[in-house]
C-alpha cells in the first residue's frame, strides 16, 4: 500500500515538473528580446518537460497495467534526437536572414576580411578546370 | 494527488500553448514563427500524453509519435526553404 502512495507521489512530481518545464520554455520564447535568445527556451526546457511527462505516463501505465511499455520512451528518444537538429537549422536560418540582435549576442556569421579575398576563380572539376 | 497534479500540468501546458500563439502572431520575423510552430507541436504532444492519462487509455500514443515525426519534418522543410529557396533540389 505504501509503495503505491510513493509511486503516486513520484508520478505527480514528474507531471508537475514536466508542465513547469514546458511552461518555462514557452515563457522564455515569448519573453526574451532576441531571436537567438528565444531559441534557448524551447530547445532545452520544453524537450526536458516533455521527457518528464512521458516518464510519468510510462510509470502510470506500468503501475496500473502491470507491464512496462517501451513505446512511450520512443517519443522521448525521437524528440531528444530531433530537437538539436531543428535548433541548428533554425539558427542557420536566422544567421542567413541576418536578423536583428542586440550587441551582447555573439556569433555573427563569419565574414571574409578584405585581405583574404583571392584573385583567381575557384577551379571547378565538372567544367574542365580540375 | 494524481488528479491535482494532472490539473496543474494541463493548466501549465495550455498556458504554454497560449504563449506560443502570442509569439506566432507577434513574432517579427519568419524564423520566430517557425520556432513558435516547432514549440507548439511539442506542447501539443504533451497535451495528447496528458489526455491519455486523463482518459486512462493508451490509444493516442501512436498519434503523438506521428505528430512528432511530421512536425520535425515540416520544421526542416520550412527551414530549408528559407535557407535555399527550394526544398528538394
pLDDT of residue A110: 64
Residue/partner pairs of A62-71 with CB below 8 Å, 24 or more apart: A63/A4, A63/A7, A63/A11, A64/B56, A69/B58, A71/B61, A71/B65
pLDDT of residue A109: 58
For the segment A107-130, the average pLDDT, to the nearest whole number, is: 70
Q: Is the dihedral of CA B45, B47, B50, B55 positive or negative?
A: negative
- Residue A116 pLDDT more than 60? yes
Tens of pLDDT along chain B (89 residues) come to: 888 999 999 999 999 999 999 999 987 888 899 999 999 999 999 999 999 989 988 888 888 889 999 999 999 999 999 888 877 77
CATH code for the domain of B29: 1.10.287
Reported as half-sphere exposure (CB side, CA atoms, 13 A), residue B44 has a value of 17
Assess if residue B89 is contained within a domain.
no
Give the gap in angstroms from C-alpha A64 to the nearest C-alpha of chain B: 9
For B64, the domain range is 2-84
Instruction: Sort out which chain A residues have CB atoms less than 8 A from B20's CB and list them.
Output: 26, 29-30
Give the gap in angstroms from C-alpha B88 to the nearest C-alpha of chain A: 16
Whether the CB of B82 is below 8 Å from some CB of chain A: the reply is yes
For the segment A35-54, the average pLDDT, to the nearest whole number, is: 88
The grid cell for A107 is 556569433
Distance CA B89, CA A24 (A): 38
Assess if residue B14 is contained within a domain.
yes
Question: Looking at the partner chain, which of A38, A61, A85 has a beta carbon nearest the beta carbon of B32?
Answer: A38
Closest Cα partner for A83 from B19, B9, B71, B29? B71
What are the angstrom distances between the C-alpha of A117 and each of A73, A96, A112, A114, A130? 51, 21, 7, 6, 21
Phi-psi sector, B57: left (phi>0), alpha (psi -120 to 50), beta: beta
Whether the CB of A53 is below 8 Å from some CB of chain B: the reply is yes
Assess if residue B12 is contained within a domain.
yes
pLDDT of residue B12: 92
Count structural domains, chain B: 1
Map grid coordinates 508542465 to a residue: A19
- Residue A26 pLDDT more than 70? yes
Touching B: A residues 76-105, CB under 8 Å: 78-79, 82, 85-86, 89-90, 92-94, 96-97, 99-100
**Could you say which DSSP state residue A66 is in?**
S
Assess if residue B53 is contained within a domain.
yes
B65 contacts A23? CB cut-off 8 A: no
ipTM of predicted complex = 0.89
- Helix/strand/coil (H/E/C) assignment for every residue in A74-113: HHHHHHHHHHHHHHHHHHHHHHHCCCCCCCCCCCCCCCCC
Whether the CB of A30 is below 8 Å from some CB of chain B: the reply is yes
Domain chopping of chain A, boundaries: 2-101
A29 contacts B36? CB cut-off 8 A: yes
Amino acid at each position: 500500500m505504501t509503495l503505491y502512495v510513493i509511486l503516486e507521489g513520484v508520478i505527480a512530481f514528474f507531471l508537475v515538473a514536466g508542465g513547469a518545464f514546458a511552461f518555462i520554455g514557452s515563457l522564455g520564447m515569448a519573453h526574451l528580446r532576441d531571436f537567438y535568445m528565444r531559441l534557448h527556451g524551447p530547445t532545452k526546457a520544453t524537450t526536458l518537460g516533455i521527457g518528464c511527462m512521458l516518464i510519468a505516463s510510462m510509470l502510470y501505465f506500468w503501475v496500473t497495467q502491470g507491464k512496462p511499455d517501451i513505446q512511450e520512451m520512443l517519443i522521448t528518444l525521437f524528440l531528444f534526437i530531433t530537437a538539436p537538429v531543428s535548433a541548428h537549422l533554425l539558427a542557420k536560418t536566422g544567421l542567413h536572414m541576418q536578423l536583428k540582435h542586440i550587441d551582447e549576442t555573439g556569433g555573427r556569421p563569419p565574414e571574409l576580411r578584405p585581405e583574404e579575398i583571392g584573385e583567381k576563380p575557384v577551379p571547378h572539376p565538372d567544367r574542365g578546370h580540375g | 494527488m494524481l488528479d491535482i497534479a494532472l490539473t496543474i500540468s494541463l493548466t501549465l501546458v495550455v498556458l504554454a500553448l497560449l504563449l506560443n500563439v502570442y509569439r506566432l502572431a507577434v513574432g517579427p520575423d519568419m524564423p520566430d514563427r517557425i520556432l513558435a510552430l516547432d514549440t507548439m507541436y511539442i506542447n501539443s504532444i504533451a497535451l495528447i500524453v496528458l489526455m491519455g492519462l486523463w482518459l486512462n487509455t493508451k490509444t493516442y500514443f501512436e498519434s503523438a509519435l506521428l505528430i512528432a515525426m511530421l512536425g520535425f519534418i515540416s520544421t526542416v522543410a520550412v527551414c530549408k526553404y528559407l535557407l535555399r529557396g527550394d526544398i528538394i533540389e
